[in-house]
Structure formats: C-alpha cells, structure tokens
C-alpha cells in the first residue's frame, strides 16, 4: 500500500492521500522575500501550471491563499464588473456555491438550475444565452464532486464562445487528472486547487487565466485579500511574490507534486490510472450489490456516488468505522434527494488499493 505513514488511505475528493515525498518536501522553512522561494519555486509552479493547461501562449496563472473556494470567490469577485451578468450552471453543491458567492458579493447573476443527476445540455445553455442578452460570463463546474458527474465542458464552452461570452470553469476536482486544453476549449478562467488531482496538500488554489481578459480586471474586486488581478499584478511585477503571507510549505510540497505528476507520465498517464481505479471500483462494488447513482457515461474518473444499502440496520457511520478500522476512509453522500455515500479514487491510490478496499467492503457488510 502506498499510504506509508498514514493509518488509513483517504478515498475522498481531497485533501487526499499524498506521497511520502510530497509531505517530506515541507520539512524546511522559506523566506517569502527570497529568490530561492519566489523565483525558484513560485514562478516555476506558475509556468508549469500554464503548460499543463494549454500548449498555446496567451495564458497566465495566479496562485491564491485559502481553500479552493477562496480561488473561486476571488475569480467570481474579480472578473465580473457591476455592468456584467453571470450565468451559473448549477447541477450540484459546487455550482450552487458559485451562485451563493455571486449573491454574497451582489454580482448580477442568473442560475440555470438542473437536477443533481442531470447533465447540462449545450442546447439549453444556448437557449438561455439567446434569451438573456445581458449575460456576459458563464460559470460551470467541470466535475461536480457532489455526485461525481463530469459535465460536458467542451460542448458548453463551445456554445459560450459562439456567443462571445467569457467562460469560467471550476475544474477543482478534475484539473491534473484529465487532459484539458483551455485555449482549444475556449476557457477564459480555469480554477483548481493544490489538494486535488495534482496531489499536493491543502492551502491554496490557482487560476489559469487568459491574459488579455485578466488585464482588464483592475479595480473590479469586491474584496482586498481575494483580488485576483492585484495578486496577479504583484506576482508579475515582483517575480512570484504573493501580496500577503503565502503558505510556503504547501507551495513547496506542490512543486514536488508537480515533479511527481511529470514522473508518472503527465496528465494523460494520471488520467489512465484514475480511470482504471474507478473502473475497478465500480466493478467490484457492483459485484457486491451496490448501485451507482449515475449511469456510467456520466461518471467522472475521480469520485463515485453509490446508493446506500436499503436494509434497515444499515448505518453510514458504522460502515464508515468498519472500513476505517481496515485502513480506508470513504466519504458521506452530498446528493439532496438520494441516500448515498461516495468513494474517491484520486491521490496516491492504485489498482491494488481499490482491490483491497472492495475486499474490506465485502467484510464490512454487517447489515446483510
Ligand atoms: C473541492 C472543490 C471545491 C473547493 O472546495 P474547498 O473545500 O474550498 O477546497 C470547489 N469546487 C469543486 C468542484 C470541488 O470539488
């Protein structure tokens, strides 16, 4: 098992099980004014992130302290002017969170509300954009971690581009785990964080931005510390310096995680590993009688929602604890109208771990 020092493997959507070497990279201190940190670590990360996101020029990246939501809030709050209007595509808790951010910040917005098990269709987005000409920006989650659904980013971004609008993608739980080219897809802002598919530890998020868009965002932000433009300007003008204290250890761990992603063979190789993990997970769990919430074609290769067993004496916490004792931590469900639990398969997780999990599940089905 690859979880080394850890008492159990995290089968969660992040923070996830990281490698020993990623955690080891945190064992020294850094000065936030020194070139060793800014030029040697931050700037390298920034350019590597852009290279992972596209082969085209014209993109830049900004790192932002906080959990992933802070990076989403920084983007939503900094790129939509008061004269603009945001369309939020919502088919889960993370889509709903984007709308909530817009509401908190008094940003004009409208929501395309879908069921949590319903994939957004490009036709409906097209119809909405035709009907509401005031819309200037569209935001959608790529992998809706609520259910594990992979939303049709390419098709939706294509429609948004046809209308000449700005596309914002919350690719928090997918970036680094599935090939994406932001330029080819027409994405202007892609948001993700350190502790998901890049397999770093929590502490900051990042935004891959089309530079010609970002340069127009001066003075829009509704928050001082979450001003995406100001953070970018500071990093550009001062060789990677963050405006306020940066999570230095986390950032250094992320640098190591990027090295390890490259060693694995890049995003394509990681995608294959995750896909393989998920295939074994669904196969093994199905053989034990568990049903998936979503049809297979809607699944992301990152996290899967399973219906809870219907037996009266099934209790999630008992099941959770039984699995934890055997070395696996799973995740509660988040779907509003179905009783589910979730199993993530991202992080330092391999086929043999999934096999061992399925075996542990088979021995923990006390309700049978
Ligand atoms: C993890 C995640 C986030 C950010 O969550 P935090 O708890 O703030 O890190 C945002 N969107 C999606 C789709 C996610 O999976």
DSSP-assigned states of every residue in 281-346: HHHHHHHTT--BSS-GGGB-SSEEEEEPP--TT--HHHHHHHHHHTTEE-EE---TTS-EEEEE--
**Closest Cα to atom 6, ligand 1: which residue?**
68
What is the CB < 6 Å shell around ligand 1? 13-14, 67-69, 72, 94, 141, 145, 170, 172-173, 193
Ligand 1 binding pocket mutation candidate from 67, 68, 142, 146 (most atoms within 8 A of CB): 68
Residue pLDDT, tens place only, 200-236: 999 999 999 999 999 999 999 999 999 999 999 999 9
Q: DSSP assignment of 188-205, as one string? A: SEEEEETTSTT---SSEE
Where would I find the H helices in 38-131? 43-53, 68-79, 93-104, 122-131
The model's pTM: 0.97
Local confidence band at 4 (pLDDT 50, 70, 90 cut-offs): low
Local confidence band at 170 (pLDDT 50, 70, 90 cut-offs): very high
Average the pLDDT over 139-155 and give the result.
Answer: 97
pLDDT at position 5: 78
Q: Which helix (H) or strand (E) holds 141?
A: strand 137-141
Q: What percent of the chain has pLDDT over 90?
A: 96
Distance between Cα 69 and ligand 1 center (Å): 6
**Closest Cα to atom 9, ligand 1: which residue?**
68
Residue whose pair of structure tokens reads 């998901």 in the numeric block: 196
Q: What percent of the chain has pLDDT over 70?
A: 99
Question: Of all atoms in ligand 1, which is nearest to the CA of residue 72?
Answer: 10
- With beta carbons less than 8 A apart as the criterion, state whether 74 and 64 touch: yes
Residue pLDDT, tens place only, 250-300: 999 999 999 999 999 999 999 999 999 999 999 999 999 999 999 999 999
**Residue 114, pLDDT above cutoff 60:** yes
Contact residues for 263 (Cβ-Cβ < 8 A; gap 6+): none
Distance between Cα 367 and ligand 1 center (Å): 33
**Residue 181, pLDDT above cutoff 80:** yes
pLDDT at position 334: 87
Average the pLDDT over 46-70 and give the result.
Answer: 98
Ligand 1 binding pocket mutation candidate from 65, 71, 89, 94 (most atoms within 8 A of CB): 94
**Closest Cα to atom 12, ligand 1: which residue?**
172
């Amino acid at each position: 098992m690859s979880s080394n020092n850890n008492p159990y493997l995290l089968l969660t959507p992040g923070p996830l099980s990281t490698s020993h070497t990623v955690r080891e990279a945190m064992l020294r201190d850094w000065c936030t004014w020194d070139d060793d940190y800014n030029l040697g670590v931050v700037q390298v990360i920034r350019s590597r992130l852009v290279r992972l996101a596209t082969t085209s020029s014209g993109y830049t990246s900004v790192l932002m302290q906080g959990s992933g939501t802070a990076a989403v809030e920084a983007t939503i709050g900094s790129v939509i002017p008061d004269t603009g209007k945001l369309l939020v595509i919502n088919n889960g808790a993370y889509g709903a969170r984007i709308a909530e951010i817009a509401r908190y910040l008094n940003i004009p917005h409208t929501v395309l509300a879908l069921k949590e098990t319903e994939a957004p269709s490009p036709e409906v987005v097209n119809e909405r954009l035709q009907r509401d000409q005031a819309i200037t920006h569209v935001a959608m989650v790529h992998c809706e971690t609520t259910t594990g659904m992979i939303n049709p980013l390419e098709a939706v971004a294509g429609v948004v581009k046809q209308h000449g609008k700005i596309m914002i993608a919350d690719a928090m739980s997918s970036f680094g785990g599935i090939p994406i080219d932001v330029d080819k897809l027409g994405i202007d802002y892609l948001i993700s964080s350190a502790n998901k598919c890049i397999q770093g530890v929590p502490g900051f998020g990042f935004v891959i931005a089309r530079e010609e868009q970002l340069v127009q965002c001066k003075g829009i932000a509704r928050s001082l510390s979450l001003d995406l433009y100001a953070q970018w300007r500071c990093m550009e003008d001062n060789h990677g310096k963050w405006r306020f204290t940066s999570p230095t250890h986390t950032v250094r761990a992320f640098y190591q995680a990027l090295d390890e992603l490259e060693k694995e063979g890049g995003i394509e190789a990681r995608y294959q590993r995750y896909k393989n993990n998920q295939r074994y997970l669904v196969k093994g769990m199905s053989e034990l009688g568990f049903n998936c919430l979503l049809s297979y074609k809607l699944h992301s290769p990152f996290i899967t929602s399973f219906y809870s067993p219907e037996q009266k004496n099934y209790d999630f916490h008992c099941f959770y604890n039984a699995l934890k004792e055997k070395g696996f931590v799973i995740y509660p469900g988040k779907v509003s109208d179905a009783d589910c639990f979730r199993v993530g398969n991202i992080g330092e997780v391999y086929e043999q771990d999934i096999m061992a999990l399925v075996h542990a599940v088979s021995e923990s089905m006390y309700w049978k």
